[in-house]
Structure 1
Amino acid sequence: MVQLTDPDGTITIDVDPNGTLRVDRSGETVFEPSPYGLPTPYGSFPEEFELDDVRTRRIDESYELVHGKRSSPRHRAVEKTLSFEGDGGSVDLQVRAADDGIAYRYRLRGERDEYLHPGDESGFRFPPGAVAWLSDYQANHEGHSRQVPVTAVDGEYNLPGLFHVDDTWALVCEAGVDGDWMAGRLVGTRDDAPGVDIGFPESHPTSHVWADDPATTPWRVAIVGDLATVVESTLPTDLVDGPRIDGDWVEPGRVAWSWWASGSSVRSLEEEREYVDYAAERGWEYVLVDAGWDDEWLPDLVAYANDAGVDVELWSHFIDLNTESKREERLSRWAEWGVAGIKVDFMDSDDQGRMQFYDDLARAAAEHELTVNYHGSAVPTGLRRRWPHVMTYEGVRGAEYYKWTTNTPEHNATLPFTRNVVGPMDYTPVTFSAERRATSAGHELALSVVYESGLQHYADGIESYETYPIAERVLESVPAAWDETRFLRGRPGSEATFARRKGDGWFVGSITAGPAESIEVPLSFLDGETTAVVATDADEGDGLEEYERAVSPDESLRVSVAENGGFVVRL
């Protein structure tokens, strides 16, 4: 048995060289012995390999992110590399115990080129009584969140998955998925103990992994701790290599967007100019011109927007960018027009070919200094650290679903603990005019703080926002990138109350799913006395009210919220 413990001495990993891995937190079991393994051209790992060497290193590094929940993350961990030898090849199993979780990956070394690989055989097994928050698998990663006992987990689910084991929470995810591999999913299993395995797209030559030795898999990750640890963790980016470009030109921002409120507006230069004017009035950095734009008037719109101090993001179907020649033709032309970035849509696949497209587009866009928004996409896996201009991913059942069905308040209040933990989330929030919503106006407004995205697309129309002047004041002040994030209180599916800081300014966002109530907001994160400006649900109707309170770090702030309500506090 090989054992390693995180620098804080809280998380312990026991690695059995015969193919299982067990995790404890403060002496309590989080994962029962869970399988690891890797089919190789040299035999099945680890069954047909022998442990040859174990190396240990301590990691303590800090780095910078252009956008995210924290601008200067710190990663502390203990890593052990178990080297195994087989017949003609070898495998390194890298295992890391960090302050906020565990991770492992495989490195296969040999002499083979271009062989089809079915994926690794990794899984997580739980003690009795564990509960999960999952979303059913869809290729566009837009499943609805739900709570389920682990013993009832069956079928396929999107990553990440959140699990509650006694006093510990574990968010199972992956990090560093790029064109060398394929994106995973969770598959329910009850072979030995209840749990999940990492699954992959069905194997065939055009969708599975073509590997060359040496080959390295993505990290299999579990963020482990209390809910604050999960929410505040940057483990997925901690595990990815540093930036491959100089991102000084990259600017996060708020985005005016016409498609949600009026899909036909993208075919009208005049209406798009109205959204440019509105963005300029609000001080928002961008306007997104979605599907249906016309290249006869788009350059004029870009010039008009740039004169107003607003940059333009441009929609494209991925098919129009899926070859090198297409990318060079279009990206160079759009950059010449003055476009600042692209929203690329409808990838809708987890296979290696699509992951290679993500890589190729990120590289090509960087050459033209264009930011990227992946829509109809996989879930992020920490690559914002490698590619700072990759601003956000959809990979979520977001506000667009209000156009044809709905999102429950419980779904909204689960995402901050699951999907948005692992990376930027293009939910496109703050849709006051959604007829199918069950959320209050305060809930909708608070999504601007609770949800994090390097490009925060505010989806409602100009007329709708103008009927909520309190919301306009809030949305003028809320940034799209943060220096620090704190979990204050909540539970998946019922409440999420976070504090986020940019510079010297703090913002608190809170959303609830359930009856009207009062929320006690702890203020210990403050440095001293200040004034709190609260925007919350009005006593009557679907409006907002605003008031001020003098506050200090040694007290709490009580805010009343409506049913399925929410609020924003500016400090």
Structure 2
Amino acid sequence: MYKKLLLFLTILSSSLMVQAQEISSPDKNLSLKFELNDAGAPTYQLKYKKKDVIKTSKLGLETKDVPSFLTGFTVAKTEQSSADESWNPVWGEQKTIRNHYNELLVTLTQKAEKDRLIRIRFRLFDDGLGFRYEFPEQDNLNYFIIKEERTEFAMAGDHKAFWLPGDYDTQEYSTMTSKLSEIRGLMKSAITPNSSQTPFSDTGVQTPLMLKSPEGLYINIHEAALVDYSTMSLELNDKTMVFETHLTPDAIGDKGYLQAPTQTPWRTIIVSDKAGDILTSKLVLNLNEPTKYKDVSWIKPVKYVGVWWEMITGKSTWAYTDEKIQFGVTDYKKTKPNGKHGANTAHVKEYIDFAAKHGFDAVLVEGWNEGWEDWFGKTKDYVFDFVTPYPDFDVKELQRYAAEKGVKMMMHHETSGSVRNYERHLDTAYKFMVEHGYNSVKSGYVGNMIPRGEYHYGQWLNNHYLYAIKKAADYKIMVNAHEAVRPTGLNRTYPNLIGNESARGTEYESFGGNNPDHTTILPFTRLVGGPMDYTPGIFQTKISAYNPDNDSYVHTTLTKQLALYVTMYSPLQMAADFPETYNKFMDAFQFIKDVAVDWDETHVIEAEPGDYITIARKAKNKAEWYVGGISDENARVATVSFKYLPKGKTFTATIYADGKDASFDKNPQSYTIRKMKVNAKTVIKQQIAPGGGFAISIK
């Protein structure tokens, strides 16, 4: 009997050894364990320096039309490999990115489903984990419908969280900061009005989700390479502190349509005991494929000005007339202009002159095309054709004038949420751009989606956004998509995606204001997936100066606006205020003129989500460095080092700082400018006002 028991335990132990697999990150700080539980369900665990990051969590997908990929698995094969390579992005925060990981590929079979296969691929980097589901080509699997993905993220405690309400249509909420256990009680107050919104749960949150454990671990959960799949949100069980994926449904409630061979996006977990490591992680980019384009010479970072802020503040209008019109029927030449239309030829020339004088690349113009009177708040399929200008906007004359001044024009396409209509006109619209000298477009998806019932973050819309980007590449056009899905690193594969909004940008400063801590959180959340067209540079912080009926104000100091050009990374940066305002502060405006939009190096000097960020960057192919430091509503003293400078050399630093009496709410325009010599050994203490910041140019 004893021998039989010993034999049984030996066989059981061998079976468990086959099913349990472990790998470590290249630096050995992170460890991953994969195994099947008693029901044959795949599970994983993640530790950092022997501390729990993710406790035992289930993996799998529930399907609608075929048996689910949840239980009944056995391990058919495991394979381990490693990779260590470097690549150069077309544009980015650093010139060269290292892609170094250890990989575990597990092939699972479901005996009850005629040995149907699924693979789970894990990649463990020094800064985190990425994993995805893969469905090989096989006789027993073809087309299938996802009811829900059941990936879990079991937290090791009641962490501090920086979260947005889970929503199928918008990320334009203020970030909430609370313990995980407090999310349910705060959800109602977190959901503020938006032109299109569909919150789905009292404990649902969006990604990127930033967390900090009581032990001081910084954890970020997101996804990479979101292609032909629904956007992932997270549903929290606040009794067990376990997150489960929640995919955006379509109009009939299905979560996704797949056909083998295929794979899901990567689920990503970035982790460190240093907050700055979250900001410098390139894990999401590394999990995306290399660029699809052979020629990328036409893709260039852009610094621009434009006819935009005046409409946001209410000083000007997008619409040409206040009369009732019907797009495609009304003859605008027979209507009465409202006298406030911003996109008129003479006014746009003023912006072109300003851009040319100060070295900006492009001028954005919104409200140039017919139809703006006939769409907002309506659900109409055909509102814009994207090629017909208002009577006061001379496309050819502005093309000639901009070319003469050496400035590019930036197109604006507001789709009004009517995706079918946009695709109907896309080739014609892009051809129109090429014919008239436009090489970049800002697209918008304001309002509820058409087809009706589809959501901004569903599989169908995600496929559309990528279709528009790839189609733009056919015409060598760069895309800056607003109200689209938040980025997941696809700009590596399609680098003409030079910007996204997908969060509360500067425009909300005119709609009541962003919290002073807003931009100290976004780099840890929204920007983890890719750059944001935040549109900084507002010097006149009282909106009433432009529109007496609007008493909102920008919740920053003037020099914090300068710092955002460094802390809020984007290869697409706007100087969003009016030329006449910049003319009053030309000494401070010099920093916006000087600061780069493409970088060789990035160094995080200090950082704590929700509190402060100080970042230094080296300009691409130049011996110039720029530093930006920002704070939340609290004053603080930043410790600024210059150890990234070449040793043995001295540089001149120009420091733009808050004045002694500055504050975001009472005295935002108080600032000082001073110069000093610095080298690699220099360390300075820099005072930051409440809601303030500082910017340094080093040459």
Q: Under TM normalisation by the shorter chain, which class is it?
A: over 0.9
- The RMSD of aligned alpha carbons is 1.9
Q: Which amino acid aligns with 1:357?
A: H
Determine the C-alpha separation between the residues in 1 that align with 2:29 and 2:397. 59
Determine the C-alpha separation between the residues in 1 that align with 2:412 and 2:165. 28
Written as runs of structure 1 = structure 2, the 5 A alignment for 1:177-192 is 177-178=226-227, 180-190=228-238
SS class of match (1:34):
strand
Residue in structure 1 matched with residue 511 of structure 2 by the alignment: 404
Query: Per-residue deviation at 1:533?
Result: 0.9
Once the two structures are aligned, what percentage of the paired residues are identical? Answer: 24
Indicate how the Cα distance of structure 1 residues 266 and 35 shifts in structure 2: closer, same or farther if over 3 A, else same: farther
Determine the C-alpha separation between the residues in 2 that align with 1:418 and 1:292. 34
Which residue of 83, 101, 117 corresponds with 1:90?
117
Determine the C-alpha separation between the residues in 1 that align with 2:291 and 2:181. 41
Written as runs of structure 1 = structure 2, the 5 A alignment for 1:161-310 is 161-165=209-213, 166-178=215-227, 180-190=228-238, 193-202=240-249, 204-205=251-252, 208-225=255-272, 226-245=274-293, 246-262=295-311, 263-264=316-317, 266-293=342-369, 295=389, 297-310=394-407
Determine the C-alpha separation between the residues in 2 that align with 1:338 and 1:403. 32
Q: Which digits, 9 at most, give the CA deviation of each residue in 1:252-278, with x for residues without a partner?
A: 011102211344354211111111111
- Whether the aligned pair in 1 keeps the contact of 2:483 and 2:502 (CA below 8 Å) is yes
Determine the C-alpha separation between the residues in 1 that align with 2:56 and 2:181. 16
Determine the C-alpha separation between the residues in 2 that align with 1:75 and 1:4. 17
- Whether the aligned pair in 1 keeps the contact of 2:516 and 2:556 (CA below 8 Å) is yes
Q: Which amino acid aligns with 2:34?
A: V
Higher share of residues assigned strand = 1
Residue in structure 1 matched with residue 27 of structure 2 by the alignment: 8
Which residue of 125, 128, 132 corresponds with 2:154?
125
Indicate how the Cα distance of structure 1 residues 284 and 210 shifts in structure 2: closer, same or farther if over 3 A, else same: same
Determine the C-alpha separation between the residues in 2 that align with 1:514 and 1:557. 22
Residue in structure 2 matched with residue 141 of structure 1 by the alignment: 171
Query: Per-residue deviation at 1:251?
Result: 0.8
Q: Which digits, 9 at most, give the CA deviation of each residue in 1:91-145, with x for residues without a partner?
A: 0000111011101000123454443223421121111242111122342211211
Structure with higher RCO (Cα < 8 A, 6+ apart):
1
TM-score (norm 2): 0.78
TM-score (norm 1): 0.95
Residue 21 (structure 1) aligned with residue 48 (structure 2): no
- Whether the aligned pair in 2 keeps the contact of 1:510 and 1:568 (CA below 8 Å) is yes
Deviates more, 1:293-302 or 1:420-429: 293-302
- Whether the aligned pair in 2 keeps the contact of 1:468 and 1:543 (CA below 8 Å) is no
Determine the C-alpha separation between the residues in 1 that align with 2:72 and 2:66. 8
Deviates more, 1:270-279 or 1:14-23: 14-23
Query: Per-residue deviation at 1:206?
Result: 7.9
- Whether the aligned pair in 2 keeps the contact of 1:171 and 1:223 (CA below 8 Å) is yes
Aligned positions, number: 569
Q: Which amino acid aligns with 1:4?
A: I
Q: Which amino acid aligns with 2:411?
A: L
- Whether the aligned pair in 2 keeps the contact of 1:118 and 1:208 (CA below 8 Å) is yes
Written as runs of structure 1 = structure 2, the 5 A alignment for 1:382-531 is 382-435=489-542, 436-502=553-619, 503=621, 504-528=623-647, 529-531=650-652
Determine the C-alpha separation between the residues in 2 that align with 1:5 and 1:169. 19
Determine the C-alpha separation between the residues in 2 that align with 1:457 and 1:532. 24
Determine the C-alpha separation between the residues in 1 that align with 2:678 and 2:53. 39
Larger Rg: 2
Residue 314 (structure 1) aligned with residue 363 (structure 2): no
Query: Per-residue deviation at 1:22?
Result: 1.0
Q: Which amino acid aligns with 2:62?
A: P
Residue in structure 1 matched with residue 53 of structure 2 by the alignment: 30
Q: Which digits, 9 at most, give the CA deviation of each residue in 1:4-55, with x for residues without a partner?
A: 1111111101112332211111111111112221235653324122210001
Determine the C-alpha separation between the residues in 2 that align with 1:24 and 1:302. 57
Query: Per-residue deviation at 1:153?
Result: 3.3
Deviates more, 1:131-140 or 1:474-483: 131-140
Q: Which digits, 9 at most, give the CA deviation of each residue in 1:461-509, with x for residues without a partner?
A: 1122222212221011111222221111121111111111113211110
Q: Which amino acid aligns with 1:213?
A: A
Q: Which digits, 9 at most, give the CA deviation of each residue in 1:374-411, with x for residues without a partner?
A: 10121110100111111011011011011221101111
Structure 1 regions of 5+ residues with no counterpart? none
Q: Which amino acid aligns with 2:285?
A: T
